[in-house]
Every structure is written in structure tokens, then in C-alpha cells.
Structure 1
Amino acid sequence: MEDHHAAAHLARNLVNLRRTRGLTQDMLARDAGVPRSTIANLESGEGNPSLAVLVKVALALAVPIDELLASPRAMVRHWGADEVELRTKGRDVTLRPLVPEPVPDSLMDLMDLAPGAIMGGTPHLPGTREFFTCLAGKVRITVAGDAFELAAGEVLAFPGNLPHSYQNADGVAPARGVSIVILAKAGV
């Protein structure tokens, strides 16, 4: 790959990744521990970064270095169903990530609850916000002692730092929902 192609790919990818994450150049520079002028130079296609700078920027954006340098075609990735890691939590609860690669400051899972399933939620930092959308069945979410029963299509939003749990509210049919957690940043 010629140098100007690599610089152009880096510039385009860096701008797209930064904007997708809602970051300014100053914010990305702070997160990466580099001067803002470094980010500006990379985004203009004029930068000639060291490997250390690329590593810092990639870590701040939570992407592999090759995603910073890839051509548009190389950035497309297809995951087979068997490549997406399923996790089990609690009793009879399966979590499947909606996005199989890291997304900064968020967790997004498809949650399947077998009949009678129950799962305690993980308390997060104050300022974290959780959203649960019931897709099928009935799900009871208890937040700080208050129970909310959701049917298909209903959404519950709540502070993620409060004690909470998820339960299939129907003892016969399975339930399914989407859990999206917007994490608060430490020290903010």
C-alpha cells in the first residue's frame, strides 16, 4: 500500500470513528494521551504517526489498529452465528451481544429468559442509564425494590447504579428483550 493511501485511509477512518462516538478532537486527544494537534494532523492525512501513537488512538477508540488503517472494503466484517459468543447468567438466562465488537461506554445484549428465569443485574457507576425493551413474553424488572412488568413493545429506563433484576414474568412461555446500558465514565 502506498503511503498516501495509508494516510488517506487513516484520516477517513479516524474522522468516522471519532464522529460515530460523539467525540471532539480534544476529547479523543485527552483519551489517547496525545496532543490535539496530533489528532488534527492524522485527520488531515498529513500525519506520520509512530506505532505508539496509533496504539494510543486505537485504544482510546476501542478498535484494533488495523481498523484505523483499513481500506473501506476491509472494514466490512461478517460474523457467523457460531462466532458470536453467547453468555449465560443467573438461572436460565442467555445473553447474546447485539454488536460483537467493543463499543465504548455501552453494553448491548439480546436477553432470552426461559420460563421462570431470573437474573440479578450488575450495579454500575452512578450516572449509568439502562434501557430494556421487551420483545416477546413478559419481563418483570425490579429496580430498588419496585417491580415493573413489561409486555412486548414496552420499554423501561432506569439508573443502572441501583439494585435491579430481570425475571420472566410468565412461568410457561419464554421471554426476550434487548438490554442497552449507557455507562457513566469514572471520574466524570
Structure 2
Amino acid sequence: MSSDRTASHLARNLAALRHARTLTQQELARAAAVPRSTIANLESGEGNPSLAVLVKVAGALSVPIDELLAAPRALVRHWPADAIAPRHKGRGVQVRDLVPEPVPDEMMELMDFEPGAVMGGTPHLPGTREFFTCLDGRVILMVAGDRYELAPGEVLAFPGNLPHSYQNADALQRARGVSVVVLAKAGV
């Protein structure tokens, strides 16, 4: 592969990955610990980055280096249901990743509750925000001692660093919800 084509692939892939993560060039440069002009040069196809720069930029985007340099291809991947293994996190609660690829600064999980199941939440760093959406059944969330009962379609947002727990409010039927945790940036 010629170096011109490699630079073109890098420029296209870098811009697409940055836009998909809604990052400015300055934000990506800060996360990668490189000057903003380096990102601009790479996205213009004019850059000739060192391996160290590629490692930093790939790390900041949470992708392997080969994804930055890859030739155009459809970014499609199919996971069969059995390939996304559920984790048991509490008595009668199964949790599995909603999105099986890493998403920077977020955790997204599908939670299935057996009748009456209870699960304690894991407190996160201060500044973390958690959103729980009830999909089926009724789920009770306890947040810092306060009780919230959610019906299908209802969402509760709360600081993820507070003590919290989840419970299926129904002793006879299953419940299901989605948890999205927007993680605080360390040191911010």
C-alpha cells in the first residue's frame, strides 16, 4: 500500500472516528496528549505521524492502530445473542452489555430482573451521571435513601456516586431496564 493511500485512509478514518465520538480536534488532541495541529495535519492527509503519535491517538479513541490505517470497509459487525454473555450481578438479576464495543466514558447495560430480585448498585466517581430506563414491569430504585418506582418508559437520572439499588417491584412478573452511566473524567 502506498504511503499516499495510507495517509488518505488515516485522514478519513481519524475524522470519522472523531466525529462519531463528537470530539473537536482540540478535545482529541488533549486526550491524546498531542498538539491540535497534529490532529489537523493527520485529518488533512498531510501528516506523517510517528508510531508514538499513532498509539496516543488510537488510545484516545479506544481503537486499535489498524482501525486508523485500514482501507475503506463497512464498519458492520453482527453479534449473535449468545456471544454477548450476561453477568449475574445480584440475586435474580442478569446484566449484559447493551453495546458490545467499548464506548468512551459510558457504560450501557441491559438489566433483567426475576420477580422480587434486588441488586445493589456500584457507586462511581463524583460527577458520574446514571440514567435508568424501565422497559418492562416496575422497578424500584433507591437513591441515597429515597425511593423511586418506575413504570415502563419512565427514566430516572441521578448522580452515580450516591448509594443506590434496584429492585423488581413485582413478586410475580419479570422486569427489564436499561442503565446508561456517563462516567466522570478522572482528575476533572
Q: Secondary structure at the match of 2:47?
A: coil
Name the residue aligned to 1:18: 18
Measured in 2, the distance between the counterparts of 1:92 and 1:5 equals 53
User: Which sections of structure 1, spanning at least 5 residues, go unmatched?
Assistant: none
1:124 correspondence with 2:124: yes
Total equivalences in the alignment: 188
Measured in 2, the distance between the counterparts of 1:140 and 1:82 equals 29
Name the residue aligned to 1:80: 80
The one-letter code matched in structure 2 to 1:39 is I
TM superposition shift of 1:74: 5.0
* Mapping 1:153-164, distance limit 5 Å: 153-164=153-164
Name the residue aligned to 1:51: 51
Measured in 1, the distance between the counterparts of 2:66 and 2:80 equals 21
Q: Secondary structure at the match of 1:9?
A: helix
1:187 correspondence with 2:187: yes
Q: Deviation per CA, 1:53-90: give whole Å up to 9, x if none.
A: 11111111111222212234253222222222321101
Task: Identify which range, 64-73 or 170-179, moves more after superposition.
Answer: 64-73
Q: Deviation per CA, 1:133-171: give whole Å up to 9, x if none.
A: 100011000000001011111111111111100111111
Q: Deviation per CA, 1:117-142: give whole Å up to 9, x if none.
A: 11111111111111111000110000
* Mapping 1:130-141, distance limit 5 Å: 130-141=130-141
* TM-score normalised to structure 2 length: 0.94
8 Å CA contact retained: 1:67, 1:75: no
8 Å CA contact retained: 1:88, 1:94: yes
**Sequence identity percentage:** 74
Name the residue aligned to 1:150: 150
Q: Deviation per CA, 1:92-123: give whole Å up to 9, x if none.
A: 21111111111111000111111121111111
* TM-score normalised to structure 1 length: 0.94
Q: Secondary structure at the match of 2:173?
A: coil
Task: Identify which range, 137-146 or 54-63, moves more after superposition.
Answer: 54-63
**Root mean square deviation of aligned Cα:** 1.4
Name the residue aligned to 1:67: 67
